[in-house]
Structure 1
Amino acid sequence: MTKRFPKLFIYLLSALFLLNIVQSFFTELIYDEAYYWYYAQDLAWGYFDHPPMVAFLAKISSFFFDGELGVRFMGCILGVGTFLVLWQLIASKEKHKYVPFFFVLLFSMPLLNAYGFLTLPDTPLLFFTTLFLLIYKKFLERATIGISLALGLVMAALMYSKYHAVLVILFVFLSNVALIRNRFAWLAVATALVCYFPHFAWLYNNDLVTIKYHLFERPNQPYSFEKFTLGYILNLVLVFGLLFPWVYWALLKTKAKDRFKKALQFLAYGVILFFFLSSFNRRVQTQWIIVICIPLAILTYEYFLSRPTPRKWIMRLGLTSTAILLFARVGLVHEPLFPVVYETHGNKEWVNTLKEKAGDIPVVFENSYRRAPMYAFYSGNTSYSLNNFHYRQNQYSIDDSEEKVQNRRVLYVTKYAKKGDISYTNARGTLFYGIFIDNFRSYRKLRCLVEDLPIDLQQDSLMVKVYNPYPHDIDLGNLTFHVAYLNAHKQLQESNKVAFSPLNGAIDRLKSNDTTYFRCTLKSPTMKDIEYIKFGISEFGLRPGINSSSYKLEP
């Protein structure tokens, strides 16, 4: 053990693991973690936004602990696992002499630091990227059936972590296209596809909802050089903190002398270039490029190992960065140390305040897949996110959470009302109102379908099919139909109520598990540059939901 991992390495890694466990215990969840905790309450082979690995990790964590640590424990395990595997990926025989340099280098990377304890899709993505590279390195040394099967399993685990994993696999393949003639490589691919089949089946059974959302339905913004491209370049700096000049210098100066090092370079350059090009279309989030930390950590460590002067500077700045990050980690728990209120501050407080006023009845949050699971986690009560035109679909749109609040007395929480039965403020001082509804009913799974595309606003009428997936008929008298007008970036510009006339004469209800055909006359929007429309249905006076895809208008 000490030959592979020096005692100092084991001591420092143990200290890091203990730090992450303590951090996990005392730090309130961030909103995304609460959302993924909500995933884990109903395990499936897929979810609206992501593949299921993050939910599996949260569920496994709950077997060992309660509370926040019951969400993050497996994140802590994978965090130290990433360090362990990274150490094995470093080829230098001198590495045992420079263990502190290794830890300072990695600990100085802000997101790599954070994902050592937070449970987010990027946490398993980083671990399985590292493990994938380790097995690929062994594959290059000597391909066998066993190694090929292991490589396939890890490729599947990568894809179960986050869809961005396809870039890891793609750029490693592009670094060695001769793999296309390697039967062991094809065995690895076949293994990965077989293991990933349950997720393919889930996507098929859920109408490819995740793919459609990410590729076609996700709202965007008009291009801005400052927000998009310049913001992306800033992200390339932020992901490595104070050490960014040395990291990118190591990438530029490293010469690939073998196929593995070439794979590291292709992975780093490929991801950087891919998202640079993407920045001309949409805003790139910092965590989307997190996988470059893995190849660049290896290249930076190995490049500067034999260069004492710059290594000393890296150690000095790295220790400074480490001190800053440790201070920030304390600030995640102790709010006064932070200049702003962060997501880990005040969640228990606002949840307890709201629970005192709501009692044990379910709480329905308008347009918030973030607050709904946070409330459920800290209160232990039922919650639901009711989404409308002004928001986006999410996991609450496709699971059975709507059924749990139907025909019940609920507290409907919104920040858009001017008054309510109760009110409360969150940690940032935003005022919310709550309205008690004695018999809550919503039908957000009704689907409006248009076949005659693209839609011409000048035509006399448009045929729209409305499918009712519910196990009961729905009274048309309780519904009103609406249309939303969207710009080229699928941002809502305006909405109108429209009349729907049944094609088959006078009917008063939508039959269960059946399709009803309507004619509607669309109004021309008052705003210009409208390129899409989508339909929404309002039930019992609620704001219209998101009941269709975005349909392209005829130019």
Structure 2
Amino acid sequence: MGQKFPRLFLILLGLFFILNILQAAFTELLFDEAYYWYYAQQLAWGYFDHPPMVALMVRLGEIAFEGELGVRLVSCFMGAGTFLLLWCLIDYPKKRQYVIHFFLLLFSMALVNAYGFFTLPDTPLLFFTALFLYLYKQFTEKRGVALAIGLGLVMAALVYSKYHGVLIILFVFASNWRLIKDALAWVAVAVSLLCFAPHLFWLAQNDFITINYHLFERPNHAYNFSEFTLGYLLNLVLVFGLLFPWAYQALFKSRSNGDMLIKALQYLSYGFILFFFLSSFTKRVQTQWIVVICIPIAVLTFKHLLTNQNTAKWVFRMGVISTLILMYARVWLVNDRLLPIYFETHGNKNWVGQLKSEINGIPAVFQNSYRRASMYAFYSGSASFSLNTTEKRQNQFTIDDSESRIQGKKIAYIAKNVEGHDFEYSKCDGTVIQGKFIPSFRSYRRLWCTVPDTPLTKEHLKNLEIALYNPYQEDIFRKDLDLYVAYLNKYKEPIELKKMERCNWQNESPYVKAEDTCLIKCAIPPPEDKNVHYIRLGISEHGLKAGINSKTLKLEQ
């Protein structure tokens, strides 16, 4: 990187890395981390919720270590790498006198701190954002084919980390419109598209399931100013913690004066803030969606404190306080006795061990809980499955082969409430979970219903023609299946579930033939609630709760 690092910088970076390694090894997994570990058990070019970068990170880490450290090893390297790259983005020689300020500034940002060891999609997003900005800086100063190719590779890595990476690329390029006429910039774009092509192909093979879920299938609810917009504004404060006044002061006072990097940092910061501010009028913006602004604003804040002693003084003071608080919080992540607050890194080994002992290690099927299914699989080493119903959403268990691995086996069926339950166990937060044994489990959650008559009206529901496709390599006995309709409000939240009592199968066979489609004419019972805007078709097999067996279908008013 063409510069000599101060000895103090290397010492603090090493301590930060060691701290994260220890934290990674001794902190139990988050539920989302367990889910991404589950991704990594079958590497693919895409997954239901996210692109594949997070799964690749887990798989690489598990080459070296097992357990929690294996899941998080690459994150620890990326966390240290992010600090290193941000230091390299700042050219002022005077920065060598402010090494401690630099570390206090970054360490005080709770999410930047956490993503130094947690393995979540935002971890590589932060790292590749810093790397992208570093290469962009080099590109604007030196140019060259090698830099263009490097930019293209990192642009692809950004989007492979999280789809938000597209926004990062767009806002940075928007800050320098001359790149439209730059042939090397188009080389970078071509390289990125070439590298991203396998994921696009995977999306096409899977009916763009990830895009459809995030843009069209994801439930929402009515606009609430406190939860949506005010909540978003509070998140803008929370991402910087006690340092937020000085962080935003640095952003507002920054001037590019022809510096293309500073201009890119400004566009990236304001672009994300404005984009998600507008989004807050339609949905709740999660805090991690805006964590990317920590990268450009951290650079701007550090540059500002180099020329403003008052800012440097307050960043140091607030940084020390924040560091002490966050260090205590880090210990609490491992030891739940430090605070009377339950967190998801507490007690997972205990409930998994209790459950595994209760069910004697047979496969566990969790109703509507891909998170608990993943956590159980990680800590027990036993097979698990998430059986999704119309009440919740689909997930990775919907599209992989996990269902086939437990077909016909004795399983433990686990839910919050199970009629005639055989056993129960308690989670750390006091929630009692019940379960029952099923001697021979059969589920057909991949049966798929399509409706040719779209758009649908309430008149269509009186005699709805449904095409039922059986993707399995076995015939399915019709009498084992019950058809349901779930009614959803305009925010795609389930409000009613009704069984279809009058169904006329168009063929005489008692089976739904393997890899074949049969037609059914159904009189769908009308909803009791008038606030119905969508329907979703579901199938119950062997008395299980109805699954999600169709797309969400709009019901014309």
**Equivalence map 1:462-481=2 (5 Å):** 462-481=464-483
Cα shift at 1:401: 0.3
Per-residue Cα deviation, 1:46-100 (whole angstroms, up to 9, x for no partner): 0000000000000000011111001000000000000011100012121111100
Distance 1:551 1:260 in 2: 46
Q: Does the 8 Å contact 1:447/1:547 carry over to 2?
A: yes
Cα shift at 1:306: 1.3
Q: Does the 8 Å contact 2:105/2:319 carry over to 1?
A: yes
Aligned equivalent of 1:506:
508
Shifted more, 375-384 versus 303-312: the winner is 303-312
Query: Which letter does structure 1 place at the counterpart of 2:556?
Result: E
Distance 1:5 1:552, change over 3 A: same
Aligned equivalent of 2:267:
266
Aligned equivalent of 2:545:
543
Q: Does the 8 Å contact 2:418/2:436 carry over to 1?
A: no
1:81 and 2:92 matched:
no
Cα shift at 1:523: 1.9
Per-residue Cα deviation, 1:425-465 (whole angstroms, up to 9, x for no partner): 11111111110000000000000101211211123411111
1:336 and 2:302 matched:
no
Distance 1:266 1:80, change over 3 A: same
**Equivalence map 1:114-513=2 (5 Å):** 114-257=114-257, 258-459=259-460, 460-499=462-501, 501-502=503-504, 504-513=506-515
Cα shift at 1:318: 0.7
Distance 1:25 1:148 in 2: 38
Provide TM-score, normalisation by structure 1: 0.99
3-state SS of paired residue (1:226)? coil
Cα shift at 1:554: 1.2
Aligned equivalent of 1:20:
20
Cα shift at 1:418: 4.7
Per-residue Cα deviation, 1:313-342 (whole angstroms, up to 9, x for no partner): 110011000000000000000101123100
Per-residue Cα deviation, 1:98-127 (whole angstroms, up to 9, x for no partner): 100100000000000000000000000000
Cα shift at 1:277: 0.3
Query: Which letter does structure 2 place at the counterpart of 1:376?
Result: A
Q: Does the 8 Å contact 2:443/2:541 carry over to 1?
A: yes
3-state SS of paired residue (2:369)? coil
Distance 2:467 2:323 in 1: 59
Q: Does the 8 Å contact 1:351/1:378 carry over to 2?
A: yes
Distance 1:112 1:290 in 2: 8
Query: Which letter does structure 1 place at the counterpart of 2:413?
Result: Y
Distance 2:107 2:456 in 1: 54
**Equivalence map 1:90-105=2 (5 Å):** 90-105=90-105
Cα shift at 1:503: 5.3
Aligned equivalent of 1:32:
32
Q: Does the 8 Å contact 1:449/1:464 carry over to 2?
A: yes
Query: Which letter does structure 2 place at the counterpart of 1:531?
Result: H
3-state SS of paired residue (2:62)? helix
3-state SS of paired residue (1:151)? helix
3-state SS of paired residue (1:549)? coil
Shifted more, 430-439 versus 303-312: the winner is 303-312
Shifted more, 513-522 versus 483-492: the winner is 513-522
Give the alignment's Cα RMSD to 1 decimal.
Answer: 1.1
Distance 1:500 1:212, change over 3 A: farther
Distance 1:211 1:99 in 2: 42
Cα shift at 1:202: 0.6
3-state SS of paired residue (2:293)? helix
1:47 and 2:27 matched:
no
3-state SS of paired residue (2:249)? helix
Q: Does the 8 Å contact 1:223/1:281 carry over to 2?
A: yes
Query: Which letter does structure 2 place at the counterpart of 1:267?
Result: L
Q: Does the 8 Å contact 2:507/2:518 carry over to 1?
A: no
Q: Does the 8 Å contact 2:304/2:311 carry over to 1?
A: no
3-state SS of paired residue (1:448)? strand
Q: Does the 8 Å contact 1:220/1:490 carry over to 2?
A: yes
Query: Which letter does structure 2 place at the counterpart of 1:461?
Result: N
Q: Which runs of 5+ in 2 are unaligned?
A: none
Cα shift at 1:502: 4.4
Q: Does the 8 Å contact 1:481/1:500 carry over to 2?
A: no
Distance 1:92 1:211, change over 3 A: same
Cα shift at 1:368: 0.3
Q: Which runs of 5+ in 1 are unaligned?
A: none
Query: Which letter does structure 2 place at the counterpart of 1:238?
Result: L
Cα shift at 1:505: 3.8
Cα shift at 1:551: 0.4
Q: Does the 8 Å contact 2:78/2:123 carry over to 1?
A: yes
Distance 1:457 1:243 in 2: 55
3-state SS of paired residue (1:484)? strand
Query: Which letter does structure 1 place at the counterpart of 2:296?
Result: P
Distance 2:522 2:256 in 1: 63
Per-residue Cα deviation, 1:236-282 (whole angstroms, up to 9, x for no partner): 01000000010001000011121211110000000000000000000
Query: Which letter does structure 1 place at the counterpart of 2:423?
Result: I
- The alignment-based identity, stated in percent, is 55
Query: Which letter does structure 1 place at the counterpart of 2:147?
Result: I
Cα shift at 1:359: 1.0
Distance 2:458 2:261 in 1: 57
Query: Which letter does structure 2 place at the counterpart of 1:332?
Result: L
Query: Which letter does structure 2 place at the counterpart of 1:221?
Result: H
Aligned equivalent of 2:520:
518
3-state SS of paired residue (1:408)? coil
Distance 1:50 1:528 in 2: 35
3-state SS of paired residue (1:411)? strand
Distance 2:336 2:405 in 1: 35
Shifted more, 494-503 versus 506-515: the winner is 494-503
User: Number of residues paired by the alignment?
Assistant: 555
3-state SS of paired residue (1:225)? coil
Q: Does the 8 Å contact 2:506/2:521 carry over to 1?
A: no
Provide TM-score, normalisation by structure 2: 0.98
Cα shift at 1:143: 1.6
